[in-house]
Amino acid sequence: MSQLRFDGKVVVITGAGNGLGKEYALFFGKRGAKVVVNDLGGSMKGTGASSSAADKVVEEIKAAGGVAVANYDSVEFGEKVIDTAIKSFGKIDILINNAGILRDVSFEKMKDEDWDLIYRVHLKGTYSCTKAAWPYMREQKYGRIINTSSASGVYGVFGQTNYCAAKMGIHGLTLALAREGLKRNILVNSICPVAASRLTETVMSKELLANLKPEFVVPLVAVLSHDDSKETGAIYELGAGYISKLRWQRNQGYFFDTPFTPEDVRDKWEQVAGFGDTVYYPQTSSEIFEIFFNKEEFIKQQKEGKTSTTQTQQT
Ligand code: NAI
């Protein structure tokens, strides 16, 4: 079987001095890509800075026969990060927005600084690096972008309101960018990885961490970053060797005869909020208009106790 190669590709990986980013960088270096290893080199809470984290990874890639350069700017300044790729290698093909920190604290005790810093590194940083890479990708009609979301954002976690909001925001960015990039062969996806790193070593047991090697996240990132990939706008949960895709689900819903009252909604709560046997998987924001425009048919089928045919059910 042929190996997935990245010869001739230029890849920028943010936060590549440690954890997951480091594994991606080592992988791409071995598979023929020219790698920009970005890392601010600060603490996991976002304080301090050092060039040593990025430098060590660059040295490791070079020692294995690969090509890499370091960049030490914060992802908040995406232009500087992408500029390193342009100045060193003349282009940017693949961007892996991975840099991250944590400022966990209950919402009640959260300070503006905790909120702002998480926003700046995660959502603003992802925006900023992508914004700087975008014109080059558009021009060359090629781009692969992997954004790092999190199960925390998808499901919500106590003590992480700042992080959850930023991580779900990142997936919103992915969804819209995927649509804007499609015609120019720029594919954009999100991942929700779970892996042993300094961000997780204090909150998970040793046994669990032993099975959560960061290198287990690399294969999906490689597939989504490859020339052959067609996937865009998707979000995956993965870790420990397990990979799965997520999607939105909509219930059957209930169409009220207008005008209607709060009491009507209360009395039909099960139909409005419950998930019965019938579920739908909407993929665009315009699909709901199919329902709006087919009101009479929907209400007729509703009265007959039938499943609505105005939405398509996918498997
Ligand atoms: P890590 O702490 O090992 O690596 C993150 C790297 O980002 C560090 O080297 C750090 O110096 C760098 N960084 C932080 N702020 C930066 C900035 N402003 N500019 C440039 N570099 C910066 O963490 P890990 O676990 O490898 O996390 C990578 C990404 O995956 C993060 O976005 C994290 O939120 C996300 N993630 C990780 C999970 C896990 O289980 N490890 C779970 C869900 C999401």
DSSP-derived secondary structure for 166-207: HHHHHHHHHHHHHHHHGGGTEEEEEEEE---STTTTTTS-HH
Nearest CA to ligand 1 atom 43: 150
Same domain, 45 and 147: yes
142 alpha carbon, distance to own chain's centre? 19
Same domain, 115 and 92: yes
- Residue 20 belongs to a domain: yes
How far CA 71 is from CA of 88, 228, 301, in Å, comes to 11, 28, 60
Nearest CA to ligand 1 atom 19: 74
Q: Which residues are catalytic?
A: 163
What's the CATH code of the domain at 182? 3.40.50.720
- Model confidence pTM above 0.95: yes
Same domain, 41 and 179: yes
16 in Cβ contact with 100 (< 8 Å): no
pLDDT value, residue 1:
77
Same domain, 231 and 262: no
Same domain, 155 and 259: no
List, chain by chain if needed, residues with CB within 6 Å of any ligand 1 atom. Answer: 14-15, 17-21, 38-42, 44, 46, 53, 74-76, 98-101, 121, 125, 148, 150, 192-195, 197-200
Task: Pick the atom of ligand 1 nearest to 152's CA.
Answer: 43
- Residue span of the structural domain in which 52 resides: 10-246
Residue 314: pLDDT over 70: no
Tens-place pLDDT, residues 170-205? 999 999 999 999 999 999 999 999 999 999 998 899
pLDDT value, residue 203:
86
Beta bridge partners of 140: none
Tens-place pLDDT, residues 210-234? 999 999 999 999 999 999 999 999 9
> How many folded domains does the chain comprise?
2
DSSP 3-state of 97: strand
The pair phi, psi for residue 57, each rounded to 5°, is -70, -40
Same domain, 225 and 122: yes
Tens-place pLDDT, residues 25-34? 999 999 999 9
Residue 304: pLDDT over 60: yes
Record the tokens describing residue 251, joined without a space. Answer: 């219930």
ipTM for the complex shown: 0.99
Same domain, 259 and 232: no
Exposure b/e, 204-217, CB count within 10 A at least 16 = b: eeeeeeeebebebb
Same domain, 241 and 256: no
- Residue 309 belongs to a domain: no
